[in-house]
Amino acid sequence: MLGIRKGRLYREDLEKFDKIHFSGCTHFCYEGVIQHEKWRKEKYKNEVNMTDDLIVEWNSKVGFNDLVIHLGDFGYEGKEEEMFEVVRQLNGTLLLIRGNHDTDVFLNGLERLNNVYVADDFGVVLRYEDKNLEMFLTHYPVMLDWSIRRVSVHSHIHGKQPLFNYMFNVAMDYTREVVISEEELIKRIEGYRSHLTREKMLEYYDKYRLQPLTIDKETYER
């Protein structure tokens, strides 16, 4: 059992999996998302066609011994039975962080399936001790202070650009992929961290009119 009920995971907790992937706002079985997202409307004929294609894409990227951390809105309310059938067809182990369209009926049903974990409603803090990195994995973007250590990884806002550069959107309508790899996400985060000097942090605080503070070594690294 993963330690997700305590709200935290360490990367070494996940060593039993071959690969880690991230996903969010897939909205399996939901016709409405096709109407709301132009690129989906151009690509998919209807919800059945979309769901079938997403299952194929998922299984082409996710192995049987992989983990997918899904940051909410797997499908849509009222589509629970269809979504259970989707989960049964997907490769890998699923760790779901609840989104605003993930119902109690769906979550309770998921916990009876094999290779599925459901996190607490807030989400999970995933810690990479070797990288001095903490990912706050939540459905909604989380406001943090600028830090070399902590980032917000989220979905919910679909194809929109996150407000702050320490926020990393893994929603399908942003990435245009049903899952993205851990390697790809880490690469994006390291690109952000590589330019995050103390001077840059002060610029951000000034730009967003946040309370001024002294960026000392402890603040920078925490």
Domain span holding position 205:
3-221
What secondary structure, in 3-state letters, does 179-197 show?
A: CEEHHHHHHHHHHHHHCCC
Compute and round to an integer the Cα radius of gyration of the chain: 18
Residues 95-132: pLDDT tens digits?
Answer: 999 999 999 999 999 988 989 999 877 899 999 999 99
| Cα–Cα dist 97/170, whole Å | 13
| Cα–Cα dist 204/148, whole Å | 13
- CATH for 93: 3.60.21.10
Residues 138-163: pLDDT tens digits?
Answer: 999 999 988 899 999 999 999 999 99
Q: Cβ neighbours of residue 148 under 8 Å, at least 6 residues apart?
A: 132, 193, 196, 220, 221
The whole-chain average pLDDT of the chain stands at 92
Average pLDDT, integer, range 180-204: 93
Alpha helices in 79-179 (DSSP H): 80-89, 104-110, 172-175
Query: CA–CA distance from 125 to each of 11, 90, 100, 128, 154 (Å)?
Result: 10, 25, 19, 10, 12
Domain count of the fold of the chain: 1
Query: CA–CA distance from 206 to each of 71, 98, 200, 222 (Å)?
Result: 31, 34, 10, 20
Q: Cβ neighbours of residue 189 under 8 Å, at least 6 residues apart?
A: 133, 135, 151, 168
